[in-house]
Amino acid sequence: MPTLVALLGRPDTPTDGVADYCAFLAKALEARGIQMSLARVRWMEDGWFNGLLELWRECLGWRGQWVILQYTALSWSRRGFPFGAVAVLAILRRRGVRCAAVLHEPYRQSETSARLIDRIRGACQDWTVRALYQRAEKAIFADPLETVVWLPKDEPKAVFIPIGANIPAQLPRSDHDWKGRKTVAIFCLSDMPNRQREVDDISKATRSVSSNGAQLRVVFLGRGTAEANEEIDRAFHGSSVEVLNLGLRSAEEIGRVLSESDAMLCVRGKLFPRRGSALAGIACGLPIIAYAGAAEGTPLTEAGIELVPYGDGEGLGVALARVLGNQHHWQQLHERSLRAQRKYFSWDRIALGFADALAENKIDP
């Protein structure tokens, strides 16, 4: 059986999306006869010197195998200067390991900050991503390659493989009561100050729908929602919209809640292919209303997604009313999400993408 190693940096808290991604991928690869184990460089716990020394010892046993470095800026740096990831890749190559990199963040984290330190940090992140790309045998992107503007054209080492939802597959509900209360799911919110804008947009959209006689329930769950209680209470004060804030929940419960919902509002900036909350909605067959500007030209457009101009809170309300008020339209979006899930975002399809990409370079059993 071919064997792979997924190599991670420090774990994220309170949830670790990259670790979850690797766990779901490992299970799907195993079904295809490929074994993938997970390993970490413990630089956060043990310091960089000890962490790299331990990697030097451990990766001796990986010689000739594929190791897939999982890159995000903060998994390889406390403050977003992720040069350590390049040092890790250099050690792997020196030990005769075959190196691939999953670039979960192909760009700097913040592109709009005016602070000098943020511009320096962003330049370091851009350099690191390009250095990893140049030094890896295979570079895997979750964005279509033509949207990664710095990539060389027709570069064979670059591969586009979408990410999937970090929740177990759930069958969507089939008993929608079109005369009863509709449930709108909000999966994850950003940190402040963006969180306040997101909650206000959600409130404006759902208030608009409920003001026309619709009965709505808004369910918040996932990262950032427990911390947003005050903002949510303030934004929905005096509204007829029922609000339920579940906070952090298990992956199984998240899947259940989404599969029992009628639609999802996704307002954490412009929707883009690596937005895990939207992918969870697609996996559960949900119609999604989101902001345009980054989803165009990606597989997301084949899912049941209604895009409105970025920042258009009134447009969100109009689109939400259209989705919840027209059963035929809802059914079309629902079926589009299920088709896109099967075609692009299922873990079986993702595992097939990895198997094909690495088989081009002859994985040895």
**Measured on CA atoms in the order 254, 352, 93, 57, is the torsion positive or negative?**
positive
Q: How many structural domains comprise the chain? A: 2
Could you tell me the pTM of the whole model?
0.90
Which helix (H) or strand (E) segment is 348 a member of?
helix 347-359
Q: Is the pLDDT of residue 364 over 60?
A: no
Find the CATH number of the domain harbouring 193: 3.40.50.2000
Which of 85-89, 153-157, 299-303 is the least confident region? 153-157
| Rounded CA separation 278/305 (Å) | 9
Is residue 364 included in any domain, yes or no? no
118 vs 287, higher pLDDT: 287
Share of the chain above pLDDT 90, in %: 79
286 and 193 in one domain?
yes
What radius of gyration, in Å, describes the C-alpha atoms of the chain?
Answer: 21
Residue type, 137: E
Q: Is the pLDDT of residue 363 over 60?
A: no
| pLDDT of the residue at 107 | 86
Q: Is the pLDDT of residue 214 over 90?
A: no
Which range marks the domain in which residue 38 is found? 3-164+346-359
158 and 13 in one domain?
yes
| pLDDT of the residue at 328 | 93
202 and 144 in one domain?
no
pLDDT-derived band at 168 (thresholds 50, 70, 90) equals: confident
265 and 122 in one domain?
no
Q: Is the pLDDT of residue 23 over 90?
A: yes
235 and 324 in one domain?
yes
The answer to whether residues 274 and 249 touch, using CB atoms and an 8 Å cutoff, is: no
- 254-294 pLDDT, tens digit each: 999 999 999 999 999 999 999 999 999 999 999 999 999 88
pLDDT-derived band at 173 (thresholds 50, 70, 90) equals: low
